[in-house]
Structure 1
Amino acid sequence: MASEQRLRILQLLAEPGKHFGRQWSADPVQSGVCMTLIAEALAVTQPTASRHLDILRQAGFITVQKHLKWSYCKRDEATISGYLNWLGREISAASTGS
């Protein structure tokens, strides 16, 4: 989460229809967003985008589903929510000295 690019990916994937509505190979809301379009949105090379996406996948914040020659990325809302809840509790505990 220390990467501005990874945070941007999560922001873009929060509203896939708005940011990736031109995706023709699959519905971006239901199937996820093609990695190529994510790289274009970030203005980075595909290997750079793939690295960021892999880190997010390993953390559980996104899922990646392959279909034919494309890989589609989608936020894992349950994991993101759980992480934010945990972070909130940790920050609260740190501020109260618990």
Structure 2
Amino acid sequence: MNFLEINKVLSNKVRIDILHWLKKPEKNFPPQVNVPDFNDGVCVCHIQDKTGLSQSTISHYLTMMHKVNLLIATRHGKWTYYKRNENEILNYIDSLKNEL
């Protein structure tokens, strides 16, 4: 785990908001059309709508979060869905507790 890279990702309020919203997707996003539930995460289009930012900015943010394993990406056809990687988030928190 690279603390510096994860900390860089977490240094942006919108990326923190995304992690917060994905913690309870059913409360923060509308029902999804192409999948029956949130088991594979939330469609990028819904995350973009909630942030109000451009598609390219949100894609960049989600890619950054995925590269440091904070998010898990799943493809359904042409759509990508993201959910929190709870194990990695807990590992990061535990490592912070132990190291600092």
- TM bin, normalised by shorter chain, reads 0.7 to 0.9
Letter in 2 for 1:63: I
Q: Work out which of the two has the higher radius of gyration on C-alpha atoms and give 1 or 2.
A: 1
Q: Does 1:2 align with 2:11?
A: yes
Change (3 A) 1:60 1:46: same
Provide TM-score, normalisation by structure 1: 0.86
Q: Which runs of 4+ in 1 moved over 2 A?
A: none
- Structure 1 alignment gaps of length 5 or more: 92-98
- RMSD over aligned CA atoms reads 1.1
Per the TM alignment, residue 29 of structure 1 is displaced from its structure 2 partner at its CA by: 2.3
**Which digits, 9 at most, give the CA deviation of each residue in 1:28-82, with x for residues without a partner?**
4212100011011111011100010001000100011111110000110000000
Aligned residues: 91
Aligned-partner SS, 1:63: strand
Q: Residues of 1 paired with 2:90 and 2:29: CA distance?
A: 23
Which residue number in structure 1 is paired with residue 71 of structure 2? 62
Give the fraction of aligned pairs with identical amino acids, expressed as a percent: 30
Q: Is the 8 A contact 1:16 1:28 kept in 2?
A: no
Aligned-partner SS, 1:79: helix
Q: Is the 8 A contact 2:30 2:46 kept in 1?
A: no
- Structure 2 alignment gaps of length 5 or more: 1-9
Letter in 1 for 2:72: T
Q: Does 1:87 align with 2:96?
A: yes
